[in-house]
Structures are given as C-alpha cells and as structure tokens.
Amino acid sequence: MRRTNFNKEKPLAEIERLRIALLKIPLYLTVTVNWLKQQNGIDTNRISLLGYSFGALVLPAVQHHLQETGFYPAATIISYGAVNIAELLEFNFSGQSTWLNPISSHLLQSLIYPIEPEMHLPELKGQFLLMNGKLDKRIPFQNALKLQELVRQPKTIINLDEGHMHPDKPELTLKIIRISKDWLFEKRLINQ
C-alpha cells in the first residue's frame, strides 16, 4: 500500500480513502498469512501476530478475520492497544473546539466501526501478551485496561511506568522489543 500525505483541500475524500485502507488491513494480512502457509520451511505452528500502537488497534479485527478463515496464530502480542476508537480519537484531537471533538470523534469512529477492538476481542483465542504504558498521553489508561479485561486467558499483562512508544524514544522501543522477544522465546515460538 503506497503512503501518501493527507490532502487538506479534500478532507472528505481523504477520510474515505483512509477508511477504505483501514478496512482492507484484515484482508491484506489474511492474504499474507495464507502465502506464508504455502511456503516451504515455514513452521505454521509458530506464526504469531504482533501489533504495536496503531497496529494494536487493528490487530483484534485482523485476528478475528483470520480465525474465521480457520487460522489461529500461535500467539498474539498487543502492545499499546485499547478499546473505544471514538474516545481515543477525542482524546487525541487537538486544535479544535471542545464541543466539536466528540462529534468528530464519533463520526470518524462510525466510519471505521468494523475494526473497533471491543467487537473482536471476546472472540479471540490463543495466548496473549498485552503491554501498555501507565503514563501514556495518547491512550487513556482506562481504555487499555478495558482491552486487557476483554482478552481471554491465557494472557500476560505488563503495564510499564512509561509513556507512549515513539521513534523518538529508542530506549522504550528497545525495551518493548526485548519484552516481546523474551515472551515469544519463553513460549518456544522463536529461537534466541
């Protein structure tokens, strides 16, 4: 998928383009997993799904779609994810009047409702690592806790005394990667 900049001259067209792209993510990843399953030398019993930040928001819809096709990942890592896209959007909107934030947030959320994590999380099966930052300024911690509550057992929950992950925070990124790798290694899903 080619990345392009948001065209501020045509915001409605851009919102529709973004909506279509978001709704296609589960299909794209299903095609990718199906391709992997056909490759020689791939241990399909060790394929895991990992979603970080924005990826963590769409991962529940992706996994649910994969499960409906008969594929169950060996493990799932949801790092810096949450539920209630409307609240997340409202929390992150800046530079708009206060009364417009809830309206815009709920409108945008309604356009991408099929990927709302809260709809998919109760249906997911497997073993899970759930990671969030208690000091996150992008994801309200109560939304992260709700995600953690909705995921079935077995699950490992790690709430770091950190803010949101970001490329400008390489130490935090490396910490999250190390925790993810150690957990996958402990589950015998990757080699050291």
pLDDT for the residue 4: 52
Adjacency order of strands within the sheet including 49-52: 49-52, 76-79, 128-133, 155-160
Report the pLDDT value the prediction gives residue 105, as an integer from 0 to 100: 57
* pTM of the complete model beyond 0.95: no
pLDDT at 56: 94
- Predicted pLDDT of residue 155: 98
The predicted pLDDT at position 146 comes to 98
Residue 185: predicted pLDDT = 98
Q: Which domains does the chain have, with CATH numbers?
A: 11-85+115-186 (3.40.50.1820)
User: What's 48's DSSP letter?
Assistant: -
Q: pLDDT under 50 in the chain at which residues?
A: 1-3
Q: What is the pLDDT of residue 139?
A: 92
